[in-house]
Amino acid sequence: MSSITITETTADILADSTLKGNLSPRLFTRKEVIPPNQDVLWRIERGVVRTLTWGEDGTFITLGYWGTGDLVGYPLSKINPYQIECLTSVEAIAIPQHFWHQYTNDLLAHIQYSEELLSIVHRKPVSLRLWQFLVWLSEKFGRDLEQGRLIELYITHQEIAEVLNTTRVTVTRLLQQFEAAGTLLRHKRRIILCLSNKTIMNVSLKNG
């Protein structure tokens, strides 16, 4: 778990971009960590990443999920430790500080998504928290199908639990309840939300 320091790779990218007068994309593989830097933001051109930190006991705390068009980077959080993990193959552009003013809309979107997610993780009961998180994911990483809205991002029950500050067992149980109630479907390890199905309000929440 390294601290926030500039890497030679990032420095080379920035120098090359400045010389060429543009910002050059860089490719990352799934599970690769994008190098953080105090003076650099990364704009995701393709793929999905999650930002996270961890406690003294090593427990991961997910800060957000980000996709095409999103800005991520240590300057947007100031949390240390801070990590950007690629959940898919990713293409991203390193944006040095003197270019940030050109990305005002992206910066505002980052704030809005972060605050929306923050509000979700404090909802009670956990069943409502989980459902609203799934809806949030479907809005960022979903597409419409005849059956409902498919969340194209694969996310494990453990990763969901890390976001919502609950246990994997609770997430699994609640997803099974949603499926039994007809509010979601499974499709090749992905989730389809049946957003028009109002039975979500009738799902038992007493164990949430």
128-160, pLDDT tens digit by residue?
999 999 999 999 999 999 889 999 999 999 999
156-193, pLDDT tens digit by residue?
999 999 999 999 999 999 999 999 999 999 888 899 99
CB-based contact 157:168 (threshold 8 Å): yes
Query: Is residue 131 classed exposed, middle or buried when 0-12, 13-18 and 19+ CB atoms within 10 A define those classes?
Result: buried
Give the model's pLDDT for residue 189. 84
Give dist(CA 127, CA 172) in Å, integer: 11
| Residue in this structure with the two tokens 């639990």, named with its chain if needed | 161
Residue 21 has pLDDT above 60, yes or no: no
Residue in 172, 148, 140, 147 with CA at minimum distance from that of residue 159? 172
Q: How confident is the model at residue 22 (pLDDT cuts 50, 70, 90)?
A: low
Ranges 18-22, 108-112, 191-195: which has the least confidence: 18-22
Q: Could you count the other beta carbons within 10 Å of the beta carbon of residue 66?
A: 27
| Residue in this structure with the two tokens 């240390």, named with its chain if needed | 80
Give the model's pLDDT for residue 152. 92
Instruction: State CA 14 to chain mean position distance.
Output: 25
